[in-house]
Amino acid sequence: MAAPLTPQFGGARRRLIEELRGKGISDLAVLRALDLTPRHQFVPSGVRHRAYEDAPLPIGSGQTISQPFVHALYLQTLRLQGTEKVLEIGTGSGYQTALLAQLCRHVYSVERIRPLLETARDAITECGVTNVSLLCGDGTYGWPEFAPYDAILVGAGAPEIPQPLVEQLAVGGRLLVPIGGRDDQRLVEIARTADGTEQREISDVRFVPLVGRHGWEAT
């Protein structure tokens, strides 16, 4: 990745990585992706000075960029090998998209809010990422044209597991989705097997609602 790693953020980024190590992120590929990806390019200028805090930040349109630990937890849980085709639901800022692009073969990412998608597209392009395809639409339907996927990540909280996403998983693939109320959820992993699916809970999380036909209604 030809990322513009602005020198004044180098120390802050390294401190963040050490903080994530202390919180249990040990996957070296994930830590390297975090080190090479300029989070400050994916947040509005007004909060850029906070880009390397382990905290969520507003990105406009009522949405947030998740705290880096949550991104790292998602990626460490998936244990990507670099050959996978991955679907991301909720492009948001594009930061997780750029991280994924370093860890898999190709990322397909869906965002329902067009201004966010366009801003994310610009940031991703500026980072030199080329193995990403973006779509504006209802992410709860997935992106069936390119299914099945080896991994699916949902970056918003759903009231229940969106069935179209389960159906777009390859056998052996895994879906990560926050399930619960509009404000608090549990991160759930669904693994697709030859006989059906297996499910386990990972941790408490807090995401904005997943809005769409197979999620929450817009308010």
Question: Catalytic residue positions?
Answer: 66
- Given the DSSP bridges, would you call strands 57-60 and 63-65 parallel, antiparallel or unpaired? antiparallel
Of 42, 41, 36, the closest CA to residue 66 belongs to: 42
Of 120, 137, 113, the closest CA to residue 214 belongs to: 137
Q: How far is CA 218 from CA 150, 185, 199, 210, in A?
A: 29, 18, 28, 9
Residue length of the chain: 219
Instruction: Find residue 198's DSSP bridge partners.
Output: 191
Q: How far apart are CA 136 and CA 116, in angstroms?
A: 10
Q: How far apart are CA 217 and CA 212, in angstroms?
A: 6
